[in-house]
Each structure stands twice: as C-alpha cells, then as structure tokens.
Structure 1
Amino acid sequence: MRNPTARELKVLNYFVGDHVEHSDRFAGAGEKTIKDMVDMGWIVQVDPSETSVRGYYRITPAGEAVR
C-alpha cells in the first residue's frame, strides 16, 4: 500500500469520527482523486438512502491509519 499524496491527506483530514462529508468539501480533489481513494480503501461512498443525496463519503479504518 502506498502513502497518500498531500491532496489525499487534505481530503482525509476533512473527516472527523464517523461523520460523512460531501465531495464538494474536498477543494482541489477531483473525481480521479476520490476514485483512487475509494480504490485504496481509505474512504467509502455512503449509500444515498442514508443522506438522500449522492456524493457523500465516510473515512474507513484504513483511511484513519494512513493519515
């Protein structure tokens, strides 16, 4: 597993506890960065039934470990 880039670390630091964050908050992080972070297992997309809107993410234990 690789270390997160500075941009990815910035995204990971938006998360506090088990709160979910919308991708609009991830300034400077585009779709590719978010997809790469999901692929690495650092964040997961939240089911829209939880938020009623798409685009929300939650940090995973793996994401907590690398930040």
Structure 2
Amino acid sequence: MARLVEVSEADLALYEWDGRTSKEHRSEIRRYFGFRECTLADSDKAASWPAAHVCDKERQAERVRVHR
C-alpha cells in the first residue's frame, strides 16, 4: 500500500484510518474511480456469490467449514 501511494511504510502507519480525513479520502477515491459506497444489498450479493459458485463445487466438508 505504501508503495502505491508513494509514502514510506512508517508514514503510512501514522495515517488515521477512522478519522474525518480518511473518510474524505475514501469519498474522493470512489468519485475518481466512479464507485459508490457499498450498501446492504451489495453485501448480500457478495455473500451469495461464493455460496453459488464455490460451496457447491467443494466436496470436502472440513474445507468448507474452514472458509466460513
């Protein structure tokens, strides 16, 4: 991550991830890339995809339990 934003790892470690500034940064990033904030419906879709595409194909019950 530090390399992507061209700062030192030490500086990135000081970034306040829950503050007002970080919320504004996330908003700017979403606008720049044309994304919107995730909704509960998005969360439901994200949870249903693995169930439909992965869980049905995995036959080892223990591996499914591990990935829950």
TM score, norm. by length of structure 2: 0.27
Point out the structure with the larger helix share: 2
TM score, norm. by length of structure 1: 0.28
